[in-house]
């Protein structure tokens, strides 16, 4: 009984506050950021802007996330998280979100800048009690010399917004990324 209560408390703590885990910093010198998607969730009014980081030569150096408390927040209060390409392409990927020490959202994959494409996977904690994970695939395509876009791997549509939808024990889905659940 005590173990079940602890599991439910852990799941609630996870949902109550997902925060980025990368080191906060500004963009590296000589790097520009290309907008990819806006990310919201159903727990609070925060807004994150996912951007692809490019060097002056057009090579991909990583992803940055700029998060503000809400859409109308003072830009000076925005927090920037940097996720280097080497981390994204590592075996485990990078932790995009965690709450109360529980890693909840991972991003990993490969980005071939010379070919103008990438293949990414987002893995998220669907059920914190039973430690069940779900994942969705995302494509990445260059659409101009310095313009890129995320592509839904299941329907081929461009992804401009992602909504993290939660339930009592974790994350139920990532709207606009994961396939719609069938009844």
Residues 135-151 pLDDT 10s: 999 999 999 988 999 99
Domain membership of residue 180 (yes or no) is no
Domain membership of residue 132 (yes or no) is yes
Residue-number span of the structural domain to which 143 is assigned: 2-175
Domain membership of residue 107 (yes or no) is yes
Whether the full predicted model's pTM is greater than 0.85, yes or no, is: no
Residues 107-133, mean pLDDT to the nearest whole number: 95
Domain membership of residue 181 (yes or no) is no
Domain membership of residue 182 (yes or no) is no
Number of domains in the chain: 1
Q: Give the pLDDT band (50/70/90) at residue 9.
A: very low
pLDDT at residue 111 above 80? yes
Residues 163-179, mean pLDDT to the nearest whole number: 94
Domain membership of residue 47 (yes or no) is yes
Beta strands in the chain (DSSP E): 32-41, 47-54, 60-68, 79-84, 94-99, 102-112, 117-127, 132-144, 147-152, 158-159, 161-167, 170-175
Instruction: Say which residues have a Cβ less than 8 Å from residue 181's Cβ, sequence separation at least 6.
Output: 173
């Amino acid at each position: 009984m005590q173990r079940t209560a602890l599991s439910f408390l852990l799941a609630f703590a996870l949902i109550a506050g997902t925060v980025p885990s990368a080191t906060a910093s500004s963009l590296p010198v000589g790097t520009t950021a290309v907008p990819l998607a806006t990310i919201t969730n159903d727990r609070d009014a925060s807004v994150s802007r996912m951007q692809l980081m490019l060097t002056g030569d057009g090579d991909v150096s990583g992803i940055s996330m700029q998060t503000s408390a809400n859409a109308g927040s003072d830009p000076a209060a925005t927090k920037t998280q940097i996720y280097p390409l080497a981390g994204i392409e590592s075996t485990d990927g990078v932790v995009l979100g965690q709450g109360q020490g529980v890693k909840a959202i991972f991003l990993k994959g490969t980005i071939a800048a010379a070919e103008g494409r990438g293949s990414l996977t987002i893995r998220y904690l669907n059920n914190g009690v039973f430690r069940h994970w779900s994942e969705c695939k995302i494509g990445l395509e260059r659409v101009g010399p310095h313009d890129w876009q995320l592509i839904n791997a299941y329907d081929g549509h461009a992804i401009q917004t992602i909504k993290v939808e939660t339930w009592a024990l974790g994350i139920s889905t990532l709207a606009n990324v994961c396939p719609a659940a069938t009844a």
